[in-house]
Structures are given as C-alpha cells and as structure tokens.
Amino acid sequence: MQQQTISITAIASISPLGINSKTIWENYLKQAHCFTEHILDHKKTFVAKLDSDSEQAIADLTASDSKYKSLDKSVLYAMAASRKAIQNAGWSNNDVFGINIGSSRGATDLFEKHYQEYLKTGKAQTLASPTTTLGNISSWVAHDLQSSGPEISHSITCSTALHSVLNGVAWLRAGMADKFLVGGSEAPLTDFTIAQMRALKIYSNREEYYPNRALDLEKKQNTMILGEGAGVCCLEIGATENALAHIEGIGYATEILEHNISISAEATCFQKSMRMALQNTDLSDVDVIVMHAPGTIKGDLTEYKAIEKVFGENLPLLTTNKWKIGHTFGASGILSLEFAILMMQHNTFIGVPFAKAQIQTNPIRKVLINAVGFGGNAVSILLSL
C-alpha cells in the first residue's frame, strides 16, 4: 500500500555548531571539531559545549519568563529550537500540532544538583520533582508555544530523536494530526555522566587534533566524546510546497541482547531497520548514509558491516557528525537528520577528514540516517528531495 507523503517543512537546532542554518553549514565546511577541554579528576578530557551565540540565546530565553529560571538546560534547549522551527515553518499559535520531543537522560544537570543538595541537607527542593521528570520537556515546549495538540515525551536512549520522528509519522498517517513537532534534546555534560562513560571504557582519552575518531575503522581505542544540544523538525502530512525534504522510508528494529550495552558483530538491528526503510527504494539511488558511528571501536565497525551486508560492494557515501560535535545521546539522531538536509540543500557531501577519502559524483537527492542506543533500538530514516 502506498503511504502518504510526509514533508519536513522546517528544522532547527541548538548545538556546538551554532543556532542558525548559515553558521551551522559554515562550521560543517570547516575541518575543525567543536571540542573544548574539560578537567575531571585532574585529567584533561574533551566535551562539546554550545557555542557562544547559542549560550546567549539560552540566557535570553531563561530571562524571558521567571518560571524558566528553574528549568533544566535540556528543556531550555528544546524550547529554543522549537521556537525557531515553528517560525521557519510558518506555524502560528492558532495551529493545532502535536509535540513529541524526547531525551535519553532528561534533566541530567538539574537532577544531579538537586540530589547533591539532598545528600547535604536531607531535604528536597519544592520543584525538584516537576522540573526533572522526563515529560518535562514536551510539556514546557507546549507551554512556551501555547500549543493545543498532544504532548509526548519518551526515552529510547540514543535513538530517542528518530523514534520521535517515527511517532510523528505514525500520528500523521493515522489521520490523528496534520502537523507534528518532533525531535530530541540533551544536556549531559556533567562529571558524573562523563564518569559513567569512562566506566564503560568508551570515552576518549586522546589529545590529538581529532580526539573523536568516528568512522576511523582502524582505531585501536574507543574515542566517544559527549556533546550537548537539541534539534526539532516540523512534519506535515502531504507534499507541501515549502518542504525541505520528504520522509520516503522509515525502519526500526530491536537487537537481541547478550548484555546491557551489546550489539551484534554485524549489527543485525541496523540491517533490519535499513532494509525496512529501503524496501521501496533501489539501493543504487541512496547517495549518502549519515551513520550513528559514535566513535567507539565496536559501534563504528558493526554499523559499517551492517551497511556492507545491506548494500554489498556498492556503498553510498558514508559520513557522521560525531567527530565534530560529539555524541549528543537522545538528540543525536535529529542533528544527523539536520546534517543530511543541509548536504541535500547545498548538494555537497561533507566527509570525515581522517576516514577513507570519498568523492561525490552524483547530486545528493536521497540520504539515509541511522541511530541506535543502549538496548539495541535502531532506527533508519530515508529522506528525499
């Protein structure tokens, strides 16, 4: 059965790359990462923080309403991106649209601060619970936009944002809504969160110019680095005149786990999700794949092997943005989707500077985006112009 077209009419983000599309694209063209030094346990490490323009935007947002001063950064990031997205899409406060914005960890920074205060005083602040619940993100975005549609939040670890896209598509195709705002937000740059990633032995210890070696399939150590940010896109049912891109295919799958963070040697979940997304598409028509590729040895290699299994010897161009902005957990999938749309708009492939060189020979008209998280929840989204 032919599925009805879903249009992406706007996408907006706030990240280490900036807050407006022109600056973001200019930063993608540069062979420089966005990492800054961070000291933890007297050791230098790297994180990817918001750029100065983005930080100012958050400061202005926080000052715009006294209630916003108590909110976690993950909520504020989502609010900033959402304001920009609906403005770009031409949506008004009178439009009825759904909201589904998720997060892997939610109010990371604020939760840890409240808990530390509780350990010291034995008392919890009045707003400790309402400002740290996971549903906090979409409900505050809805408040800020004065929307009247359904509000949904969820956590499906690092594939959260693309699961939001899946959910928005489902609501639209079911006829339960005409418009949906979907995405993910994450502000995980706390010492405890970094320590957790170190405990898993996946955090980068490199001090070279490219400390995250995502898509370097020859690396001998894990090089994941955390970043922060949020991204949302506006989905509308049908082929609209102002569409930036169309969602041509969606796929999803869950890995059978051997342990809490495992993934199979050839990423079976990715094979299934990609095949589902590509079931109505000639594989030779796919121009680029934006990989999840977090910079870990196993994560990068298993996804690459899954792509080989699906595409054989004729691989599309392969890239990722995590070497530049780090892994933003639940927001990473939507930032990858934004990256894909920018490459399509500018008809320019942005590769990874230390990976095997790839040459663009065709216009970029179809891009596949992958995301996966702990629990083996893989999602693949196929975009077309």
Distances (CA, A) of 238 to 5, 85, 135, 173, 245: 5, 18, 29, 9, 12
Nearest to 101, CA basis, from 156, 48, 146, 46: 156
Nearest to 33, CA basis, from 16, 8, 11: 16
Query: Tell me, what DSSP letter sits at residue 285?
Result: G
Query: What does the block give as tokens for 190?
Result: 């706390």
Please spell the DSSP secondary structure of 138-154, one letter per residue.
Answer: HHHHHHHHT--S-EE--
User: What counts of helices (H) and strands (E) characterise the chain?
Assistant: 11, 12
Question: What is the domain range of residue 359?
Answer: 7-384
* Domain contains 252: yes
pLDDT for the residue 12: 98
Residue with tokens 């690396």: 219
pLDDT for the residue 198: 94
Host H or E run for residue 263: none
* Domain contains 169: yes
* Domain contains 325: yes
Ranges of the chain with pLDDT below 50:
1, 259-261
pLDDT of 232-263, one tens digit each? Answer: 999 999 999 999 999 999 999 998 765 444 56
User: Which CATH number is 344's domain given?
Assistant: 3.40.47.10
If one counts the domains in the chain, the total is 1
* Domain contains 81: yes
* Domain contains 1: no
pLDDT for the residue 3: 74
Prediction pTM value: 0.95
Residue with tokens 């112009």: 385
* Domain contains 253: yes
Q: How many residues does the chain have?
A: 385
* Domain contains 341: yes
pLDDT of 150-187, one tens digit each? Answer: 999 999 999 999 999 999 999 999 999 999 999 999 99
* Domain contains 2: no
